[in-house]
Structure 1
Amino acid sequence: MNQRDTVHDIAVVGGGAAGTLTALRLLHHAAVPVRIWLINPGPAGRGLAFGTEAPHHLLNVPAGRMSAHRDDPGHFTRWLGDRAGEHDFVPRGLFGRYLADSLAEAGHRADAPDLIRVHDRVVGLTHRPAATGAPLRLRLAGGQSLDFAAAVLALGNFAPGTAWAPPALRDSAAFLADPWTPGALDAVPEDRDVLLVGTGLTMVDMALSLRRPGRVVHALSRHGLVPQPHATVPVPTVAAPDLDALAAGAGLAGLRRAVLCHIARCRRVHGDWRAGVDSLRSVTSALWQQLPPADRARLLAEDLRLWETHRHRIPPVSANALRAAVDADQVRTGRGTVAGAEPAGPPGGGLDVRLDDGRRLRVGAVLNCTGSEVNLTRVDDPLVTELLTTGLGTPNPIGGGFLTDPDGRLRPADSLTPAPLWTLGSLRRGSLLETTAIPEIRCQADDLALLMLDRAALALAGEGAPAR
């Protein structure tokens, strides 16, 4: 199918938080004849993070910092009304509904451009540099093809990787490769212990869902580190430190020293280390980009997990519930990796899991809580596979995601013409490091919306969109 060339057609591929925010900001800013196409098989705003309806699956950021609009920080709390205050951690499903409502509201404005919802999945993409007006052709799972002037890939988080799991574990029916798959927890036997591999944010959600008297939920990871809690009262806001003060040019060793000194100073002055960690948010990507590649790789291997447990914290109520479950011996956390697994008794009898230190656990299910796969060469997604195969997208060698320009445009393989393709969120992890939370994604979405509309204005004026 080919659209008419009377307007500038922009595709947003993916309807989770990143895609919804991008479409929302395109609708908000549009002042030229454009059509916004939101292509996603499911409902807008839900995605992996915000599709859950469990009341104990809470936002990890207070409501006052979760507005969809960076120029209107109180938008979400106004939408909440008397349901919660700006310092509250509300259920994630509630935020998903907020995103959907915000998109619908923006689309209903009298001067809003057309928003076309396509409930399908993009499985392939062709770049036709010589095509006038619409050089991108997207192929959908249903067989349809659509042509666009530009596209934003908002593919969100992929399923956890399974390369760590021994073959016998991967092949077992008792292995839940992606615990966020709808209905996955229904397969966990009610009367058996459970093993969660990974001790990050997903572990917290799953442990709180599966804890109960008579069951032990074992949660293990290579480091055994668990996310830190948010403070019970708001911490002071501290200005971002000067980059030079953080020894940005002194390599990883100098950066480590400077960051630790900065956080220690904030703890002395303000009484809480969280103020220091939060003050680094606006400069984290710049610090990451100034490190040489070898230091970036070392940071990922040696520092990232400790940083993430302090940077991406859990609500106090979740921390208290997890602590109570640990005290009641319903949850046990610690260090360990899976060395092997074999069936325990007759079919349906669960698994005997052998750990690297020789311990053995008999469990009814093993849940993969290791986090989203970031190595795109291991992602089972036909669109990603085709982008890598054709060279229109290149995997970032350090940190994962796509290799991108500073504005999020995909860098193709050498000698290929760059396609009018941009991305945001987790797919920019290797370029930005800090790129998965809503406060970062909403800014990326807004910047991309303005960029897309500037290009549309130039094209519609007959001047052509810039090459880069």
Structure 2
Amino acid sequence: MTENPRRVAVVGAGASGALTAAQLLRRAALAGVPLDVRLIDRAPAPGRGAAYATTADHHLLNVPAGRMSAFADAPDDFVHWLARRAPGVHTAADHVPRRLYGAYLGEVLAAAEARAGAARLHRVDDRVVSARRAGEGMSLRLGTGRRLDADAVVLALGTFPPDNAWAPGRLRRSPRFVADPWAPGALRGLPEHQDLLLLGTGLTMIDVALVLARPGRRVHAVSRHGLVPRPHAATALPPARPPQVDPAAGLPGVRRALLAHVSACRRTHGDWRVGIDSLRPVTAALWQGLSPADRIRFQTEDRRLWDVHRHRAAPATARAFAAAVAEGWITVGPGELADAAPTGDGVRVRLRDGRALTVGAVLNCTGPQADVRRVPDPLVAVLLGAGLAEPDDLGQGFRTDALGRVRPADGSPPAPLWTLGALRRGSLLESTAIPEIRAQAGEVAGDILAGAG
């Protein structure tokens, strides 16, 4: 008698969903385990998501190609894929267009499907709007009203659209407000010969500003700190050993130790980036060792400075941005929105320092919504409302165990529900880059196939 396949629903087909599905198929094939993987998303192609759906060649990966393999046990896989696609064009040190990485993830998943043995992959062109326990498994309700039952569910939801609660109501209702610059077609139809205002000065701002900047138009970018992501080094840097830091010393002690370590790396290697990059293996442990009060303090006092040094821009992107600033096409600095009033042909903006601007449109470049309690996703709301999940201490994701299994609010045995990526950021601090996501995808797949559901 043929064994019934284990049914796994992966909700979301972006990078984290594609990597999880590929890991499930690979591991099931190696173990000879029958598996039925349902990959649920309305996206036209797997592996793209918001980050890798862009078609602009100047939207580059923020990590060199040599560190972007889909599999930790095959670190050169992406570089070899690039070489097969375009021999001699890209090296492991290059920051390649993000659209190429999206295509790569799609082929990774297709290859895993082709070699899956008794495992099967099914694409479901729909979205999940609700979930509940059903015996030992889960029952999902889709946007079309259909029900899908599964023995295990993986939430691979990626990042969420930016928050716009900060914007005055009359601005939010105006067609001259771009609530999410990554939404399909969001940048089309902007006034050609008027200045623009971008709220937020992170990596999203850089990408958007470079699309919009041109002679005859000034793109203003402001944020509370006015800090812009630092560039990656133009050439590969040597590795350094991570420091030994005791989080029990509290946030002030950790700060002092890390600053001393980065300074020592700069003296030894000539670049502060060596010190920052060496923290990757110990970041989660340091974060988890801090008290809840220290984590909150880090968020308010240190997070922005950490982000601009840790999440850097590709060298070519940074050079293009600096050139546009030098030309006067882009201005960037500190500033907070006090009011914005749409007019007949633009938006009249007042900043808290008294400055006034008239622009053709205001664009929300503040980055993804970080508070899981405020995301406009019906599935997240249902899971929180039913107690199948609870926010972490900072509200930046779901509370999970070490392998990504979602913990219920009442402390009862968990549902067969896992997550990875952005929904684990509150407990790991760093959880949105491919090196972290590919490791999590492997852990989740292994836990599910071990029969933990």
TM-score, normalised to structure 1, is 0.93
Mapping 1:105-254, distance limit 5 Å: 105-109=111-115, 111=117, 113-128=119-134, 131=135, 135-242=137-244, 246-254=245-253
Task: Answer yes or no: is 1:13 the counterpart of 2:15.
Answer: no
Map of 1:38 onto structure 2 = 39
Alignment partners' CA distance in 2, 1:126 and 1:251: 40
1:172: how far off? 1.6
Map of 1:57 onto structure 2 = 59
Alignment partners' CA distance in 2, 1:85 and 1:419: 44
Mapping 1:71-82, distance limit 5 Å: 71-81=73-83, 82=87
Alignment partners' CA distance in 2, 1:375 and 1:315: 27
- Alignment match of 1:449 (pick from 440, 445, 448): 445
1:110: how far off? 5.9
Map of 1:98 onto structure 2 = 104
Alignment partners' CA distance in 2, 1:75 and 1:441: 16
Alignment partners' CA distance in 2, 1:110 and 1:27: 5
Map of 1:459 onto structure 2 = none
Alignment partners' CA distance in 1, 2:128 and 2:444: 20
Alignment partners' CA distance in 2, 1:140 and 1:247: 46
1:111: how far off? 2.4
Alignment partners' CA distance in 2, 1:54 and 1:252: 40
SS of 1:124 mapped into structure 2: strand
SS of 1:309 mapped into structure 2: helix
Task: Answer yes or no: is 1:366 the counterpart of 2:368.
Answer: no
Letter in 2 for 1:20: A
Mapping 1:423-438, distance limit 5 Å: 423-438=419-434
Aligned residues: 444
Map of 1:381 onto structure 2 = 377
Change (3 A) 1:110 1:282: closer
Deviations along 1:35-65, one digit per CA (max 9) or x if unpaired, are: 1111111120010110101111000000000
Contact 1:14 1:38 in 2 (8 A): yes
1:112: how far off? 5.5
Contact 1:127 1:137 in 2 (8 A): yes
Alignment partners' CA distance in 2, 1:352 and 1:372: 25
Deviations along 1:186-245, one digit per CA (max 9) or x if unpaired, are: 131111101110000000000100000011100000110000001111011112222xxx
SS of 1:147 mapped into structure 2: strand
SS of 2:248 mapped into structure 1: coil
1:404: how far off? 1.4
Alignment partners' CA distance in 2, 1:198 and 1:433: 20
Alignment partners' CA distance in 2, 1:415 and 1:454: 22
- Alignment match of 1:25 (pick from 23, 26, 29): 23
Point out the more displaced range, 153-162 or 139-148.
Answer: 139-148
SS of 1:250 mapped into structure 2: helix
SS of 1:159 mapped into structure 2: coil
Alignment partners' CA distance in 2, 1:194 and 1:405: 44
Alignment partners' CA distance in 1, 2:194 and 2:234: 35
SS of 2:363 mapped into structure 1: strand
RMSD: 1.3
Contact 2:26 2:115 in 1 (8 A): no
1:88: how far off? 0.4
Deviations along 1:369-392, one digit per CA (max 9) or x if unpaired, are: 101101122111110111111111
Alignment partners' CA distance in 2, 1:201 and 1:343: 27
SS of 1:59 mapped into structure 2: coil
1:283: how far off? 0.7
Map of 1:351 onto structure 2 = 347
Alignment partners' CA distance in 2, 1:171 and 1:337: 20
Letter in 2 for 1:86: A
SS of 1:274 mapped into structure 2: helix
Deviations along 1:311-343, one digit per CA (max 9) or x if unpaired, are: 111111111100110001000000001010112
Alignment partners' CA distance in 1, 2:270 and 2:126: 51
SS of 2:238 mapped into structure 1: coil
Mapping 1:258-273, distance limit 5 Å: 258-273=257-272
Letter in 2 for 1:47: G
1:411: how far off? 1.3
Letter in 2 for 1:186: R
Change (3 A) 1:288 1:142: same
Alignment partners' CA distance in 1, 2:316 and 2:411: 53
Letter in 1 for 2:369: E
Alignment partners' CA distance in 2, 1:289 and 1:202: 28
Letter in 2 for 1:14: G
Contact 1:76 1:98 in 2 (8 A): yes
The runs of at least 4 aligned residues of structure 1 exceeding 6 Å deviation read none
1:10: how far off? 0.8
Fraction of identical pairs, as percent? 56
Contact 1:168 1:340 in 2 (8 A): no
Contact 2:10 2:39 in 1 (8 A): yes
Change (3 A) 1:112 1:319: farther
1:282: how far off? 1.1
SS of 2:340 mapped into structure 1: strand
SS of 1:199 mapped into structure 2: coil
Letter in 2 for 1:332: T
Task: Answer yes or no: is 1:302 the counterpart of 2:298.
Answer: no
Alignment partners' CA distance in 2, 1:247 and 1:107: 44
